[in-house]
Amino acid sequence: MTGHELRRLASSGVSVRLTGLDRTRRAGGGLAALVRDQHVTGATSDPAALAASLADSGAYDDLLRALAARGVTADAAVRTLTAEDARSACDALAPVHRETDGADGHVSVALDARLARDAEATVQQARALVREVGRPNATVEIPATDEGLGAVTACLAEGIGVNVTLLFSPERYDQAREAHLAGLEQALAAGRALGPIASAAAFPLGRIDAAVDTLLDRAGVGASEAKALRGTAALAVARLAHERFTAHLTTPRWQHLAAHGARPQRLLWASDTVPEPGPRATRRITELAVPGTAHTMPEATMRAVAAHGAVVPRTWTRHSYDASRKKLAYLKSFGIGFADVASALEEEGLKKSHASWHSLLDAVSPALDEGRS
């Protein structure tokens, strides 16, 4: 994999982050090599990828045997595996974290998806995980449910960095941004340094286009107009979130926090699927090469960008934002209410996270049983 387009993406002011942490990648120094050669500046965990690695690679057999001998539960084993992978990734990204003075080089780690509707339990697990990982560039992932947003504020107030996930609409992003502001204000009131407190707001854009395109295909009227709208909803959402982000940076409330060292909550475009071959695979990533944002993607997507990407830094204008507003509003002509789509995607995202977490527990349990026998 050549790194020319990834280098161009990074040099345009975009943070390139890897999706998926596991021992198989670490065994060959994979993440360190991606940091060194492919301009990767962050990473996010993926319980589904870890479950697949447990099932296929045998890379965790020694650790699982040791955990089995201690008689730990599957839940405790998953926490240990997750923390170990996160710790190693944090170490690989430590040079980036130092060189950027904490602005980049973060590793965001998934919490137990079953806690998404329990703010207090989420905060408790976030504390325990950050303590176990024991690295300054470790952050936690919290979904943007009503309860999750309360946990976001509480974690940030304690100095725990947060990647807010499952954002599907500009309106939900407004709430995530408010949770970020409230958390930083509480941290400042408690006398905490704001500079080290990292946060990102993650939009799984591929899921937005997939959902809207399916509804457009079912519309049955205005076929040519519906076809023209396919593949445009996610970019419209991203632009409108960016409009809100840039306006927010001019507010007295934010400027007061920034004067005390606070960093903005970075917009993060999440690619959680492996793309089809060819130039179309990288379209969304190249269209979103917006300075100050971040892209998280599997290694296969990085290869596609390296092979087929044509990165040009983007500058969005008032015209871009207005056109995006009109695009989302036009969906109503086909009986599609985007607020309903976003709500359904949030519920679907929670179910998918639950399924991934259960698949991880299911992968760990037999290995622990075998280790005890």
Is the model's pLDDT at 33 over the cut of 90?
no
% of the chain residues with pLDDT over 90: 66
Residue 293 carries which DSSP code?
Answer: -
Contact between residue 39 and residue 73 where contact means Cβ atoms under 8 Å apart: no
- C-alpha span between 371 and 365 (Å, rounded): 10
Structure confidence at residue 12 as a pLDDT band (50, 70, 90): confident
Which range is least confidently modeled, 31-45, 121-135, 257-271, 350-364?
Answer: 31-45
Which range is least confidently modeled, 45-54, 310-319, 320-329?
Answer: 310-319
Interval 202-209 mean pLDDT: 93
Structure confidence at residue 348 as a pLDDT band (50, 70, 90): very high
pTM: 0.93
Q: Give the residue carrying structure tokens 């980036």.
A: 96
Residue 203 or residue 11, greater confidence: 203
pLDDT digits (tens, 9 = 90+) for 91-139: 999 999 999 999 999 999 999 999 999 999 999 999 999 999 999 999 9
Residue 349 or residue 276, greater confidence: 349
The C-alpha angle 126, 128, 130, rounded to 5 degrees, equals: 65
- C-alpha span between 44 and 21 (Å, rounded): 7
Quick one: which H or E segment has residue 203? strand 199-203
Interval 249-268 mean pLDDT: 98
Say what angle helices 74-99 and 61-69 make with each other, to 10 degrees: 130
Which token pair is 336?
Answer: 């599609």
Which CB contacts under 8 angstroms, 24+ apart, belong to 92-95? 92/26, 92/31, 92/32, 92/35, 93/31, 93/35, 93/41, 93/42, 93/43, 93/137, 94/135, 94/137, 95/35
CA distances from 180 to 80, 299, 302 (A): 28, 29, 29
Which range is least confidently modeled, 26-40, 176-190, 199-213, 257-271?
Answer: 26-40
pLDDT at 1: 44
Which token pair is 46?
Answer: 């993926």
pLDDT at 228: 86
CATH architecture assignment, domain 4-367: Alpha-Beta Barrel (3.20)
pLDDT at 276: 54
